[in-house]
Structure 1
């Protein structure tokens, strides 16, 4: 019996060592990736990390929970297509954008404006994905002359601190550790994908290109620890009130799936009810990530931007 126990212990130690070495290697690559592709700007409202790619009309890309400028760039390119100068940012508490005492959506919008001043960009298409919605809305509200079109993808529109789903609480716990998050993605990738809005049955029906996009959404969450401060704060964010949304004059397209359980469909209905110049594009299914609908979404957004510019 002692020999069996010893063999089991040795095997477990060997397995852990193998996994940890693999983890360290992949995290090194991920950390190098996020450091090499962005820069940090200091403003009077705080520091902001950002990356710029492409040529054409400017598009400000604002990521969701668990993201950063890299996630924003990934989602923005997929939703908008080619032909833009993409300016993707990391919100307060994500990667190299530090979390500060006054990490409000008002200050976040002010930092966006300061960044655009620095880049000498007068006006942008704004894209807010998921938890990036509140600061995208705030920017459109506070800087209407700098906003040509507002695109909201599966976006948060109401305070979520009172309605945090259990799945989100589980995700937040896993994401507190780089190793635990990495290990869960290795061992239970499809289950975790389901939890963040990529249902397995939809994934299996995707084209190879869209499957790669889905994989990148998950992999671009590495490393998680420098994203954790912002991730934890998401439940405290206070979006604009419905009354304030009613003063937004920027043409707005709202895209949401009715089966989204992370940011439920009533968030889209709330936006459409209060923003006067808005169009709601809804899908019966697709989950939070809406990956199966990316081609349709891209066309609808293109048409909307063309019509409203």
Structure 2
């Protein structure tokens, strides 16, 4: 096997549930030796989160814990605590996502851990930071709600919906991975470890990108648009003859190509639809006109017609269809899955 970028890096993983385990899984995929510390008898909570199961294991747990070793330690037990201390002394990275103060009570908080090991990169993941929000519980669904994601997600105004996966946890794990890698790079220069602090709320507000910028720069408070985009049209789901079809037109050239593919030149010359701004302003009329045409053929037929013209489109696949697509494109989607 070829050498991986993080070969030789030892990670003491005190994380559980999703955000922290996702981070440490990424580090393991890059070659780090990840030792996952779990509570004796029960282990990570997600070991019990099923169905579904695979060979007796909860697939939720398996989804974020590949390539790791497991070590059962009760940090309240003196002998187990001593083993944890020894692990921290040898580790390059420590990751934890307990409530703020928990690791301090176990004498393994940032100051204590870096006193044991000055080269240690210490990553702490919380729900709402370690200051005034320290006592708030950090659950993905809660942060989706109070962090604004659900306010822009759903079929219609007044009908907020969570995302189909714990997206905030995943975003936070990715942000934390960037922070840990940057801290390791800094350690290469200075020889000293760093403290990396990431919280779910801040990661979500960063991940809201254009919606956050619309508020902070222009004072625009977005609402629920269903499957539509606040700044682009047509960019939504339409009914084809057999199943839903996404059309994701990002510029005027693509819209002109869409009109050619639909054999609807009158739409391209309609002053309501000339520019993207015009189309956003008249999105209801545009959607009605496109729906009339897209209903006439199946999603697969439209994909065959429109894709060669440079029009981004595709059917709404279930997960089996998504994996089939990735396989057909040679992406080998199972290579990095449990």
TM-score, normalization by structure 1:
0.31
TM-score, normalization by structure 2:
0.29
- Which structure is larger by alpha-carbon Rg, 1 or 2? 2
Normalized per residue, the structure richer in helix is 1
More RCO (CA 8 Å, sep 6+): 1
